[in-house]
């Protein structure tokens, strides 16, 4: 990817919100709720934002996962083992989060209320991640990886191993593209963990209703590239360099003036709204 291609991604004057070292929030929905509130602000004229975050021990399910026959039992088992759980309002399926997983949220205004350019928005995140890994010499491919957890057309992989999944949430005037990047540790262990969740949650459901996860489908950037044990940190530094290269002094003055961080109380209130709306339904 060359400079012209980077310019074509449309990442000019994106405000960076790096919360990767804030691991104080036990609620795994906290960062999703923050995304939701920031997206509203962006849609009202606020700046485009790249939100970078991690969670120490969270398990996030998709809407289809939450409808599996024994999803509530599987969730309770996770909670008993100390996992913070939630059902997210963006697309995708179950994903485990820990300090070795980097989450990127690109929050950007829609060109119009009628804009439905889902593909272009996914491509923007793909381009950012591909460019951030360019110096590793590894080719980043897109396309569903059979047997991976949270499968989709925008699975990102290296040598056939998935390391990233992308989902999207659209509001009236802005949208969020969320990516989870398995940066450090074992991708295989995470895949086995998700498989165990489905083994319990499925409860005899048709196998078409949930992903059939295989351990050998997934690997981390630490395993796939030469980034080493600090793969997460080095990946984030590359992302920030790329976004920084597209910032101007005037653009950042404007972004700073328009950026408004929601209060903790506002974020927690939104998290409760989301939890009530998307929680697993028990009989």
pLDDT in tens, 186-207: 999 999 999 999 999 999 899 8
Q: How far is residue 222's CA from residue 224's CA, in Å, rounded to a whole number?
A: 6
When comparing pLDDT for 130 and 281, which is higher? 130
C-alpha triplet 113, 166, 280: angle, nearest 5°: 85
Q: How far is residue 13's CA from residue 244's CA, in Å, rounded to a whole number?
A: 8
Average pLDDT over residues 14-31: 97
Q: Of 188, 184, 163, 167, nearest to 176 (Cα)? A: 167
Q: Report the SS3 class of residue 180.
A: strand
Residue of 39, 50, 138, 150 marked active site:
150
Max CA pair span of the chain: 58
Average pLDDT over residues 84-95: 90
Two structure tokens written together for 66? 């939450």
Q: How far is residue 34's CA from residue 31's CA, in Å, rounded to a whole number?
A: 5
Average pLDDT over residues 220-232: 97
Q: Of 182, 145, 148, 147, nearest to 160 (Cα)? A: 145
Tally Cβ neighbours within 10 Å of residue 136: 18
Q: What is the chain's mean pLDDT, rounded?
A: 94
Residue 122: in which H helix or E strand, if any? helix 118-132
Task: Reply yes or no on whether the pLDDT at 92 is more than 80.
Answer: yes
What's the predicted TM-score (pTM) here? 0.95
Per-domain boundaries in the chain: 3-259
| Burial grade of 62 (CB within 10 A; 0-12, 13-18, 19 or more) | buried
Tally Cβ neighbours within 10 Å of residue 146: 12
Q: Which CATH superfamily is domain 3-259 in?
A: Bira Bifunctional Protein; Domain 2 (3.30.930.10)
Are 154 and 91 within 8 A, CB to CB? no
Two structure tokens written together for 95? 């994903």
| Burial grade of 143 (CB within 10 A; 0-12, 13-18, 19 or more) | exposed
The yes-or-no answer on residue 138 being catalytic is no
For the stretch 26-84, pLDDT in tens is 999 999 999 999 999 999 999 999 999 999 999 999 999 999 999 999 999 999 999 99
Strands (E), 219-279: none
Buried b (16+ CB within 10 A) or exposed e, 176-197: bbbbbbbbbbbbbebbbbbbeb
Pairing relation of β-strands 57-61 and 141-142? unpaired
- Percentage of the chain modeled with pLDDT above 70: 95
Q: Of 230, 18, 225, 243, nearest to 134 (Cα)? A: 225
Are 188 and 222 within 8 A, CB to CB? no
């Amino acid at each position: 990817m060359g400079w012209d291609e980077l310019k074509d991604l449309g990442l000019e004057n994106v405000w960076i919100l790096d919360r990767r070292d804030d691991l104080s929030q036990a609620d795994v929905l906290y960062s999703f709720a923050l995304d939701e509130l920031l997206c509203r602000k962006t849609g009202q004229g606020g700046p485009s934002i790249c939100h970078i975050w991690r969670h120490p021990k969270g398990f996030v399910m998709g809407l289809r996962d939450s409808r599996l026959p024994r999803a509530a039992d599987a969730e309770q088992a996770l909670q008993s083992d100390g996992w913070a759980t939630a059902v997210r309002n963006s697309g995708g399926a179950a994903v485990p989060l820990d300090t070795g997983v980097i989450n990127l949220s690109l929050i950007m205004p829609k060109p119009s209320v009628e804009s439905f350019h889902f593909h272009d928005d996914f491509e923007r995140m793909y381009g950012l991640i591909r460019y951030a890994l360019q110096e590793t010499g590894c080719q980043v491919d897109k396309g569903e990886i059979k047997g991976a957890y949270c499968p989709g057309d925008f699975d990102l992989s290296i040598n056939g191993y998935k390391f990233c999944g992308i989902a999207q949430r659209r509001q009236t005037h802005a949208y969020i593209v969320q990516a989870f990047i398995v940066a450090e540790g074992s991708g295989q262990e995470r895949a086995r963990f998700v498989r165990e969740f489905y083994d319990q949650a499925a409860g005899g459901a048709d196998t078409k209703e949930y992903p059939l996860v295989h351990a050998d489908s997934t690997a981390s950037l630490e395993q796939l590239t030469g980034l080493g044990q600090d793969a997460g940190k080095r990946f984030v530094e590359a992302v920030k360099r790329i976004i920084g290269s597209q910032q101007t002094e005037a653009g950042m003055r404007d972004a700073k003036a328009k950026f408004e961080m929601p209060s903790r109380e506002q974020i927690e209130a939104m998290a409760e709204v989301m939890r009530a709306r998307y929680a697993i339904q028990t009989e």
